[in-house]
Amino acid sequence: KPDFYNWNKVKVRYCDGSSFTGDKEEVDPSTNVHYRGARVWQAVIEDLLAKGMNKAKNALISGCSAGGLTSILHCDRFHQLLPADANVKCLSDAGFFINVKDITGANHAEAFFNDVVATHGSAKNLPSSCTSKLPAGVCFFPQNEVQQIQTPLFILNAAYDSWQVRHILVPEGSDPEWRGCRDDITQCSTKQLETLQGFRDDFLAALGASASAGSRGLFVNSCFAHCQSETQDIWFAPASPALGDRRIADAVGDWFYSRSGFQKTDCPYPCDSTCYTN
């Protein structure tokens, strides 16, 4: 049978805009918005613990995109709230956002994350191992977080993450000549592909030593995609994306149940014929 087929699965609705790190007492007077995502996360987990999760033998916190970042930022915190003898691990899908300049040379992503952290009062909910050394805004980037995470973590990411290409590398309006390429990698010119290969290099460098931990799982394929765990067609179907002979679900299952480790990085685009584009 497939792994996880008979698990209790809970989907937490994402609503706060800061990967559940916001914690401000004051309410925005112009919008009546409450920046309290960290309190929402804590309340949801406490509710689940009271409903039986406090007896869990196995637990996996996962998410995609902002939820993937949540799984990184809250990984150790989640582990600490579960029973001491439980098998607890974390899966980040498309949540490894990297801090690189955009094609114009601007620090677009860093400025954006700085604004998120300032708006939501997130600093107090980011690991002090990072915020004691670096500005809180850059502690929102996983490359500055993952070295300190103690709980086993699996990073599932496309090396050419389509969201990051469209919002970090080539933000809207930065260069009209990129319009076709940023939506469809098959429309990229040779020069644009060189830039994307450079982005892949930067992505792998940002992953860096985080992959060397024995408990760390890694599935980095050369797809132009964002989020690869949420639909059955991509997660676990005959034609799902694969590295070697292992589909995503196989790799995560082997890692979670410690049947074998999994740390694989794909060769550069366009070598992978198993990709889904989204």
97 within 8 A of 207, measured Cβ to Cβ: no
**Backbone angles phi and psi of 58, in degrees to 5:** -135, 140
143 within 8 A of 99, measured Cβ to Cβ: yes
Distance CA 247, CA 243 (A): 7
Catalytic residue from among 226, 229, 240, 266: 226
Secondary structure class of 121 (helix, strand, coil):
coil
- CA triple 175-66-234, angle to 5 deg: 90
Distance CA 275, CA 234 (A): 9
Indicate if 226 belongs to the active site. Answer: yes
Indicate if 161 belongs to the active site. Answer: yes
246 forms beta bridges with 243
Catalytic residue from among 161, 162, 240, 250: 161
For 76-91, give the secondary structure using H, E and C.
HHHHHHCCCCCEEEEE
Query: Whose CA is closest to 117, among 130, 102, 103?
Result: 130
87-97 burial, b at 16+ Cβ within 10 Å, e below that, comes to: ebbbbbbbbbb
**Residue 208's CB: how many other CB atoms inside 10 A?**
11
Indicate if 189 belongs to the active site. Answer: no
221 within 8 A of 277, measured Cβ to Cβ: no
Rounded to whole angstroms, what are the CA distances from 177 to 38, 203, 268?
Answer: 40, 23, 23
Percentages helix, strand, coil for the chain (3-state, rounded to 5) are: 45, 10, 45
Active site members: 65, 161, 226
